[in-house]
Amino acid sequence: MILGEGYTAIVLRQPQQALEGIEVPEGDLLNRRLLFPVKAPQKEGAFRLRCNIYYQQILIQSRLVRAVVARDGLPREGALQSVIDYALSHTLWAEHLQSLAPHRLSILLNSNGDGTHTLSFLGAEGNDLFKDSAVMPATELKIPVENGRKGLWKVSWGEEKPWREDGRLTYRYANRFPDRASDLKRLEEDLIFLARRGYILYNAIIDKFTRSRGKSSELARLMLNPGMVQIAIRDSPTQILPASLFYDYPLDTQADGYKICEAFLAALQSSMPLHQAACFAGQCPHSRRDANGNPDGYICPSGFWGYRHSLGFPPSLADGMDVPAEIPMDEGPRMVVGAATNLDRLDDHMRALREIRRDAVWSYSEKRMEIIHNLRKEKGRTHLIYFYCHGGITANNLPYLQVGDGTGSDFIDGSTLRAYEINWDGPQPLVFINGCHTTALDLEKVINLVADFVSAGSAGVVGTETTIFEPLACSFAEACLSYFLKEKCSIGDAIRMARLKLLGEYNPLGLVYTPFVLPSLHVRESVSNSPQRDRGRERREMESPGSPIE
């Protein structure tokens, strides 16, 4: 099908088997409606069919159809039901869909409510198309997902247990060693450890997509070059795939003596930005097996999806909403910033953020009611909402953000937005939550807070997989927002490049950030407002044609 004008679409070709045995209706119905055959099972019961609508490898709508199959053929109330349970667009307005950037791959993880998950995917590069779906027990995902996340805990604070505020656990990357060799040794050990966890996680999922090892190899080739990847998130999922940890280069997880890719090390120890290195442009010498068909004994960080691809986890939108393709800011950025005062790096971090765009209009506060007032006052004009704060869980198991000095109840939660009628309908701002030293706030709880911000009209939310610490929070946010606001990269590219910047500083923990947003979201600024930045971007693109800024 191709998009027409407004809300129309044109069917280019009907499936031949859909027309067999039916009377072709008069008029142009076959040009406006795509038919496809459905065969009922040879037994009675209620059965389900999932129908996905994609545009440029982006899952736009996922519809669950439920039908009652009976031998008597008698009509039954509710015998056929159809529900949209994931949507990035409810209008399917052609002009809006055409503004969305093409993706390399879309993945939907859907809980079926019966102890199983449905995995659906669609990927394409050129004329190569991969699509399928499969049902798998939730238990098959549970342990690899948990172990992947525990791997990040181990690298962050040295234990595969949740962080706790007892003074015994500290941030492993708080300081650099006096000599670069020790920094490199720690990084190599952690990359090898995470690659093993990431490969086990990838192995638990990939063949469920493709249904064969041969197809899995073809998909791996498709995914070798950098691209945008959508991991579709339904409301309050029981599992959120830590896709940044997927490691898809051949790896024997039981083997010892792994080495780090020499091409990566050469780029790391040079002055080259890592996003320009060949490994991160699909040209790693260790992305395939050796001449004997065996893993070659090397690990490269470009094998992680979080370093090679621009990932996004856009949640489903409420009725009547369409995912924004861009954030227009013709008069420079406007930001609402809320902060906790008992963070050691607060002043330095705020100065660094202000330096990113000196023309930015800030509405800054450390007080709960002032922050709420700023969110209300600036709705309709805000481009970025940034929280540098703490977080936690209420007695009712609801996530919150804590601002101020931490001694009172200066909490902002999802219900706060509704209570004060905070919503955005244009521009739709990006929300960035940097919750430092946050305990008991895992992704399955965070998604509720994310859903509240998205329901209020934000373009999406950037959060984290695990507890984070101030040095990481500051470094990552300053890099990411510089790429996003100053260089005008898409948010998916900005996060990927911030991860690589930290990796270039011998820190792998940029992988903990999770963008609950379409990765192609970007700011649109009038050329006359920033000619110098635009010229700098053009020059950078000419110098690095394979960079993700393109």
Mean pLDDT by 10 residues, the chain (550 residues): 74 73 70 82 89 93 91 87 92 90 90 75 81 78 89 95 85 90 96 97 81 78 93 68 94 95 96 93 94 95 98 92 93 95 96 97 96 90 95 82 87 94 92 84 74 93 91 97 97 98 97 96 78 38 30
CA dist 145 and 227 (Å) reads 23
The domain made up of 330-522 is a member of CATH 3.40.50.2000: no
Looking at residue 528, its pLDDT comes to 57
Sequence-distant (6+) residues with CB within 8 A of 249 are: 199, 284, 286, 287, 288, 299, 300, 302, 303
User: Alpha helix locations (H) across 367-442?
Assistant: 368-377, 414-419
CA dist 263 and 272 (Å) reads 12
CA dist 550 and 537 (Å) reads 10
CA dist 91 and 318 (Å) reads 11
Among the listed residues 99, 104, 12, the one whose alpha carbon sits nearest the alpha carbon of residue 58: 104
Residue with tokens 């507890």: 467
Sequence-distant (6+) residues with CB within 8 A of 468 are: 156, 434, 435, 436, 437, 438, 509, 512
Contacts 24+ apart (CB under 8 A), 369-377: 371/336, 371/338, 371/403, 371/412, 372/412, 372/416, 372/420, 372/422, 374/336, 374/338, 375/336, 375/417, 375/420, 375/422, 376/420, 376/421, 376/422
β-strand partners of 384: 335, 430
Residue 274 backbone phi and psi in degrees, to 5: -65, -25
Give, for 128, the enclosing helix (H) or strand (E). Answer: strand 128-137
Looking at residue 156, its pLDDT comes to 96
Contact status, residue 195 vs residue 303, Cβ threshold 8 Å: yes
Contact status, residue 411 vs residue 372, Cβ threshold 8 Å: no
- pTM of this structure: 0.90
| Two tokens, residue 398 | 């609801």
Torsion of CA 540, 223, 250, 117, to 10 degrees: 130
Sequence-distant (6+) residues with CB within 8 A of 11 are: 1, 30, 31, 32, 33, 34
CA dist 497 and 491 (Å) reads 10
Sequence-distant (6+) residues with CB within 8 A of 113 are: none
| Residue 51 C-alpha from the chain's centroid | 23
Neighbours of 94 (CB within 10 A): 17
CA dist 412 and 433 (Å) reads 12
**Burial of 539: CB neighbours in 10 Å, binned 0-12, 13-18, 19+:** exposed
Domain with CATH 3.40.50.1460 in the chain: 330-522
Q: Which of 516-536 are b and which e, b meaning 16 or more Cβ less than 10 Å from the residue's Cβ?
A: bbbbbbbbebeeeebeebeee
Sequence-distant (6+) residues with CB within 8 A of 454 are: 315, 317, 460, 461, 516
User: Alpha helix locations (H) across 175-231?
Assistant: 180-210, 213-222
| Residue 465 C-alpha from the chain's centroid | 11
DSSP code of residue 318: P
- Distances from the Cα of 190 to the Cα of 150, 178, 505, angstroms: 13, 19, 14
Looking at residue 535, its pLDDT comes to 35
Residue 238 backbone phi and psi in degrees, to 5: -80, -20
Contact status, residue 388 vs residue 434, Cβ threshold 8 Å: yes
Strands 9-10 and 2-3: antiparallel
